[in-house]
Amino acid sequence: MNLEHIDISGKPPIEEIEKQYYYMAILKKWVEKKSKELGRPLTCCTVTFGCQMNARDSEKIVGIFEKIGYQMVEDEHADFVIFNTCTVRENANLKVYGRLGYLKKLKEQNPHMMIALCGCMMQEDAVVEKIRQSYRFVDIIFGTHNIFKLAELIHTRLESKSMIIDIWKDAVEIVEDLPSERKYSFKAGVNIMFGCNNFCTYCIVPYVRGRERSRNPKDIIREIEALTADGVVEIMLLGQNVNSYGKNLEVPMTFAQLLEEIEKVDGLERIRFMTPHPKDLSDELIEVMSKSKKICNHLHLPVQSGSSRILKMMNRHYTKEQYLELVDKIKEKVPNISLTTDIIVGFPGETEEDFLETMDVVKKVRYDSAYTFIYSKRTGTPAAQMEEQVGEDVIKNRFDRLLKEIQSISAELVGRDAGTIQKVLVEEVNSQNHALMTGRLSNNILVHFEGNKDLIGRIAEVKLTECKGFYYMGKLVEGSDSTI
């Protein structure tokens, strides 16, 4: 939408999306005026903590800032700094408080500076109270459900001159068609749903991201078509539990059915998704994955623990045996699939026997890689009330043993495609050696090879000449320098 054509002389429109564009148009004029006064462009820096959901939310935030005329910069010496926060583990919160201290000093040097905080951490009452009391230099606080209101909030802040706090307990509507700025020209994240209904007992996400809400399939397809028309060849479908996509739609639709629709989009080469929950991973989805030409040969399937006893305490709704059966089924139907996972070490009450069950799953499944987390107590979650919290030394010892096992299996697995020719999505010039290009295989493993930067954003055929631990060196196959 072109902001120049919006009438800002009257009252704001009722329709939410039109209202937000109205505020963007007002702010654009304000930014122009301010830039003229200062004799330089106004700059903005967004800092993103946490997961892919937050990364995608930050693209929407950047989209709004660019639309109103800010110049995006990497450095926090900017006129507007916005922290998109995470609260999944406690150290994520601590990082934010630490960096806020630094921002205070920057704001003392730049009277034009504004600071906004958003994201999951801001959905916690105790956090907002602490910021209100101890970090009074913060200008705007908003949460996960009202990012679309950013322009309106900045406008309110400029009018009121005091800290603006706008946190919603749950989402009211999914606002489509906001501006958004992609980090990469050739790949993009696409939200298919928001929130989570699973309430794993250690996890704060359902409390800070609200209940599950699926986007309308038509809106998703329309977004993907627009992305491919703009040069995107790979998409990552995002949701906290993508398998429960579509349950709350007026006309229910399964995730597998959505994938089949997305597969039909012309120009789209690769489909990834994150995160499926093992309890809901259907035979229908495995079937669709096995037939698809576009779904990548990679599944991130968080196990969290290998002990059925702990899984029950975690409220995960599957046992060790069910998880292993599921993995066998997937491996049988989708040969050569690369599996990755999330594992938590030191959940309350985890004994050595429980931990050995986790090690057993790791050995049996043989993951390509895994994100391993030390359990972090999150206030408000049921696990935080569980009495037998595990000692730090015990956790550290288990964590190190787990990591060693994962790394040794991973080193054996990664080289399995050496000597073969594979399709690689070329992503960037190698940061260490500019003669090399860097890209990713369908299973997400990195490949470096000699090539030229016109290949960026294209899928090329590359012979994997040598495996170097966690990545390959390769050689471009002659004549493959165009999208296949």
Residues that bind ligand SAM (CB under 6 A): 51, 88-89, 202-203, 205, 240-241, 275, 277, 302, 304, 342, 344, 373, 375-376, 378
CB of 315 to ligand SF4, least distance (A): 8
- Please choose which of ligand SF4, ligand SAM, none residue 373 contacts, taking the beta carbon within 5 to 8 angstroms, the exact cut-off set by kind: ligand SAM
- Please choose which of ligand SF4, ligand SAM, none residue 206 contacts, taking the beta carbon within 5 to 8 angstroms, the exact cut-off set by kind: ligand SF4
Kindly tell me which of 23 and 375 has the beta carbon lying closer to ligand SAM. Answer: 375
Kindly tell me which of 13 and 382 has the beta carbon lying closer to ligand SF4. Answer: 382
CB of 326 to ligand SF4, least distance (A): 16
CA distances from 442 to 50, 242, 484 (A): 24, 20, 14
Kindly tell me which of 241 and 369 has the beta carbon lying closer to ligand SF4. Answer: 241
List 299's β-bridge partners, or say none. 339
Q: What's the alpha-carbon Rg for the chain, to the nearest Å? A: 24
Kindly tell me which of 227 and 343 has the beta carbon lying closer to ligand SF4. Answer: 343
Report whether 374 contacts 346 (CB < 8 A): yes
CB of 292 to ligand SAM, least distance (A): 22
**Residues lying near ligand SF4 in the complex (CB under 6 A):** 196, 198-200, 203, 205-206, 240-241, 277
CA distance 3 to 28: 8
CB of 121 to ligand SAM, least distance (A): 13
CB of 314 to ligand SF4, least distance (A): 8
CB of 343 to ligand SAM, least distance (A): 7
Kindly tell me which of 22 and 49 has the beta carbon lying closer to ligand SF4. Answer: 49
- Please choose which of ligand SF4, ligand SAM, none residue 334 contacts, taking the beta carbon within 5 to 8 angstroms, the exact cut-off set by kind: none
- Please choose which of ligand SAM, ligand SF4, none residue 70 contacts, taking the beta carbon within 5 to 8 angstroms, the exact cut-off set by kind: none
Kindly tell me which of 61 and 204 has the beta carbon lying closer to ligand SF4. Answer: 204
Kindly tell me which of 25 and 339 has the beta carbon lying closer to ligand SF4. Answer: 339
| Neighbour-count burial for 398-434, b at 16+ CB within 10 Å, e otherwise | bbeebeebbeebbeebbeebeeeebbbbbbebbeeee
- Please choose which of ligand SAM, ligand SF4, none residue 42 contacts, taking the beta carbon within 5 to 8 angstroms, the exact cut-off set by kind: none
For 142, counting Cβ atoms within 10 Å of its Cβ (0-12 exposed, 13-18 middle, 19+ buried), the class is: buried
Kindly tell me which of 84 and 304 has the beta carbon lying closer to ligand SAM. Answer: 304
CB of 203 to ligand SF4, least distance (A): 3
- Please choose which of ligand SAM, ligand SF4, none residue 149 contacts, taking the beta carbon within 5 to 8 angstroms, the exact cut-off set by kind: none
CB of 353 to ligand SAM, least distance (A): 21
44's CB contacts (< 8 A; 6+ apart) are 62, 65, 70, 71, 72, 73, 78, 79, 80, 81, 82
Kindly tell me which of 45 and 238 has the beta carbon lying closer to ligand SF4. Answer: 238
- Please choose which of ligand SAM, ligand SF4, none residue 199 contacts, taking the beta carbon within 5 to 8 angstroms, the exact cut-off set by kind: ligand SF4
| HSE of 373, CA atoms in CB hemisphere, 13 A | 20
Kindly tell me which of 46 and 244 has the beta carbon lying closer to ligand SAM. Answer: 244
- Please choose which of ligand SF4, ligand SAM, none residue 375 contacts, taking the beta carbon within 5 to 8 angstroms, the exact cut-off set by kind: ligand SAM
CB of 382 to ligand SF4, least distance (A): 11
329's CB contacts (< 8 A; 6+ apart) are 283, 286
- Please choose which of ligand SAM, ligand SF4, none residue 64 contacts, taking the beta carbon within 5 to 8 angstroms, the exact cut-off set by kind: none
Nearest to 256 by CA among 295, 225, 213, 306: 295
- Please choose which of ligand SF4, ligand SAM, none residue 372 contacts, taking the beta carbon within 5 to 8 angstroms, the exact cut-off set by kind: none
Kindly tell me which of 242 and 424 has the beta carbon lying closer to ligand SF4. Answer: 242
CB of 342 to ligand SAM, least distance (A): 3
CB of 197 to ligand SAM, least distance (A): 11
Kindly tell me which of 242 and 334 has the beta carbon lying closer to ligand SF4. Answer: 242
List 374's β-bridge partners, or say none. 345
Report whether 431 contacts 456 (CB < 8 A): no
Q: Positive or negative CA dihedral for 182, 241, 208, 214? A: positive
CB of 366 to ligand SAM, least distance (A): 19
